[in-house]
Amino acid sequence: MARPSRRRPSRARRARAKGTSRFARILGVLVLLALVGGAWAWWEARGWRPDEAAWPDQGAMVTAQDGPVAFATLKGLGANFAYLKASEGARTKDRSFPDNVEAARAAGLQVGAVLVFDPCVPADGQSANFVTMVPRDADMLPPAIALERTAKDCPERVSRAAIQSELMTLVNQIEAHAGQPVILKVSPGFEEHYGIAARIERNLWLERDWFEPDYGGRPWLLWTANGELQTEAAEEPLHWVVVRP
């Protein structure tokens, strides 16, 4: 019995196969270049800070989660100030706050305190928690209230009106203690839910990595320009903050 003959692929099929192989190689090179470029951009972004010539007043926000911070090194990197987390809600305190205040001042930095607002609990407990950590001190920068959490984090339903009312109460209480207006550190998510920038006329502290933020609807005072700045001052990334010139 005669064996069936094997037909050789046509010239057109061979050309298509060759073209497909070449395209796959080119695509692989492009993907590799994109991965290398992305990795380089990510590495560069870790150390990016706004130009000091355009933004002369720069600093950092520090919390206990950042671990030990070498404030003298931070000063050497160009920081003029440090905002230190003092309390969160009605129960949580940053136990490193007093030591951080002392160390930051010894390094020649101006110091401010941050209260992280909890929308789930009344203002009275939150202000009481804050003032036990932050004494009256005329040399402190204006206190900042960080608005990050929304009502979706609360175990029980809390209305928008209730949150806005408690926040205004908290603002008044903290200002009475500090003797100066607070700064509202508003996250994009909080602003989207509550539109606080238009409701409470205080200086704004907004955040957006590498690009100036615009979600507040009006000029801001402080900008977290890099939320994960890798520096020699701490093992963990820091929030790098600049002041509008």
Report pLDDT digits (tens) over 140-165: 999 999 999 999 889 999 999 999 99
**pLDDT value at 24 more than 80:** no
Report pLDDT digits (tens) over 215-227: 999 999 999 999 9
**pLDDT value at 42 more than 50:** no
**In the prediction, which pLDDT does 32 show?**
52
**Helix, strand or coil, per DSSP, at residue 81:** strand
What integer is the mean pLDDT of 167-175?
A: 98
End-to-end CA distance of the chain: 93
**pLDDT value at 4 more than 60:** no
CATH code given to domain 50-243: 3.20.20.80
What radius of gyration do the chain's Cα atoms show?
26
**In the prediction, which pLDDT does 47 show?**
85
Task: Quote the crossing angle between the two packed helices 123-133 and 160-178, to the nearest 10°.
Answer: 30
Which comes out higher in pLDDT, residue 3 or 209? 209
What's the rounded Cα separation, in Å, for the pair 166 and 180?
A: 19
What integer is the mean pLDDT of 34-52?
A: 61
pTM: 0.82
**pLDDT value at 186 more than 90:** yes
Q: From residue 88, give the alpha-carbon distance in Å to each of 28, 113, 178, 222, 224.
A: 49, 11, 17, 20, 19
Write the single-letter amino acid at 163.
I
Chain centroid offset of residue 169 CA: 25
The secondary structure of residue 131, as a DSSP letter, is H
**In the prediction, which pLDDT does 64 show?**
86
Report pLDDT digits (tens) over 196-207: 999 999 999 999
| 15: confidence class by pLDDT, cuts 50, 70, 90 | low
What's the rounded Cα separation, in Å, for the pair 199 and 146?
A: 16
**In the prediction, which pLDDT does 37 show?**
41
**In the prediction, which pLDDT does 153 show?**
84
Burial 42-62 (b: 16+ CB within 10 A, else e): eeeeeeebbeeeebebbbbbb
| 41: confidence class by pLDDT, cuts 50, 70, 90 | very low
